Amino acid sequence: MTTLDTAPQSAPRASFFNDPVIRGIIYQIVVAAVLIAFIVWIVGNTAANLAAQNKTTGFDFLWKTAGFDISFSLLPWSRGSYYWEAFLVGLLNTLLVAFIGIVFATILGFTIGIARLSSNFIVSSIATVYIEVIRNIPLLLQLFFWYFAVLKAMPAVRQSLELPYGSFINQRGIFVPRPMPDEQFGFVWIALAVAVAAVFLLRHWARKRLEATGQRFPVFLTSLVLLIGITAIGWLVSGASVAFDPPVLERFNFRGGLALPPEFVALAFGLTIYTASFIAETVRAGIQSVNHGQTEAAQSLGLKDNDRLRLVIVPQAMRVIIPPLTSQYLNLTKNSSLGAAIGYPELVNVFAGTSLNQTGRAIECIAITMLVYLVLSLATSALMNWYNGRVRLVER
C-alpha cells in the first residue's frame, strides 16, 4: 500500500539576487555609498572654494568683538560684546517670542476652536470668519500690517496714548511699569514651586481616587487655593516686597519702566494670532472626532455643559489634537525667524545676519543656526510625544 508524504515541504530558495532580503541590503548599501560620496564631494568642493578665496574656517570668531548695537536684549549688551554673546542674545530673543507665542496661541486657539462649535450662531460665525481670514493671509503680510499699519501709526512720544496701570503706547513701543522685587523675593519663587508640585500630586491623587471609587474631587478649586495659599505664606514669612518703577515721560522719551519695542510686540502678536487660527481648526477636528455617544452618556449622567466638555470630550479629543498641535508649535518657533523682516533681533537677524555679514563665516553661522532650530524642534517634539503618550487611549 502506497503512503502519501504529508510532511510540509519547504519553499524553494530564491536565487541570490532574487532574494528580497539580499536585494534590500544591496539597495541600502548602494544608497549609503552614494550619500557618503555626495557629502565627501560637497565638503571637498567647499574647502577648495574657500582656499581659492583665501578664506579661513573655524569658530575662533566667536571670541572677537562684535562692534554693533542690538535694539532689544535680555542680557547686558554693548558694542564691546563678543559674537558668542550676540548668539546668546539672538537665541534668548527667539525663545522669548516663541514661548509667549505658544502660550497665548494655545489659549486663543482652544477658545476659538470651541467657539466655532457653539450652538450660538453669532459666536460660531465670528470664530469661523476669524479662522478663514487669518489662516489664508500670509504671515509675513500680517507682520507688516501689525508693525507698519498699527504700531508705527501710533502717536509720537509726546502724544503717547495712556493705558491702564500707568502704561503708555506710542511709535517706539509699549512702556509698562517695571517690577523690582527685593532680595527676599527668591523665597516666594521657592514657595510657588512647592505649590506647583503640590498641585501635581493632588491631581494624581484625585485621578486615582476617581478610578477607585468613582467619586470626584474639586481639583480645580483646591489647586487654586493651594497655589494662592502656599505662595502667600511664602510671601508673608519671607517679608518680600515688590516695587514698581513706572515710565515717566521726559523731554524726548520715557525714563524708567519696561520698554517693549514695536518689533517684539508685532512679532509676538502676529505669531499668536496666525498660529491660533490653525490650532483652532485642530481643536475643532479633535472634538468632532469624539463619538457622539460619549456626549449622550455624559448628558445621561447629568453633567453640565462645561463639565461635559472638560471631563469627557476634551480628554478624549486630545489624542487627536496633540500630533498636529506639535506641528503648530514647531511652525511657530521656526516662523519667529520672520522677525528679521521687521527688525526684531532674533537669532537669524543677529547671528545669521549681522554677525555673518561682518565675519564672513557663512558656513559656521548658518550651521550653528540650523543646529539651534533642529535642537529646539527635537526638544519640542520629544516633550509633546511624552505628553501624547500620557493622554493616548490604552487598550486593555
Q: How far apart are the first and last CA of the chain?
A: 55
What cell does 85 get?
554673546
| Spatial distance between the Cα atoms of 334 and 339, rounded to a whole number of angstroms | 10
* Res 396: pLDDT: 47
How far, in whole angstroms, is CA 320 from its chain's centroid?
19
| Spatial distance between the Cα atoms of 58 and 157, rounded to a whole number of angstroms | 45
Provide φ and ψ at 19, rounded to 5°: -70, 120
| Spatial distance between the Cα atoms of 90 and 349, rounded to a whole number of angstroms | 8
The model's pLDDT over 47-76, given as tens digits with 9 standing for 90+, comes to 777 777 777 777 888 999 998 999 888 889
Amino acid 205 reads W
Side-chain-facing half-sphere of 111: CA atoms under 13 Å: 12
Helix (H) or strand (E) holding 279: helix 262-288
Q: Can you name the residues that pair with 242 across neighbouring β-strands?
A: 181
Provide CB contacts within 8 A for 268, sequence distance 6+. Answer: 97, 100, 101, 104
Sign of CA dihedral 390, 393, 395, 396: positive
Those residues of the chain that have pLDDT short of 50 are 1, 395-396
| Spatial distance between the Cα atoms of 60 and 77, rounded to a whole number of angstroms | 20
Residue with the three cell numbers 568642493: 45
Helix (H) or strand (E) holding 176: strand 173-176
* Res 12: pLDDT: 57
* Res 342: pLDDT: 92
| Spatial distance between the Cα atoms of 9 and 90, rounded to a whole number of angstroms | 69
| Spatial distance between the Cα atoms of 106 and 271, rounded to a whole number of angstroms | 11
What cell does 83 get?
559674537
Residue with the three cell numbers 524708567: 256
Going by C-alpha positions, the residue among 99, 169, 117, 145 that lies closest to residue 266 is 145
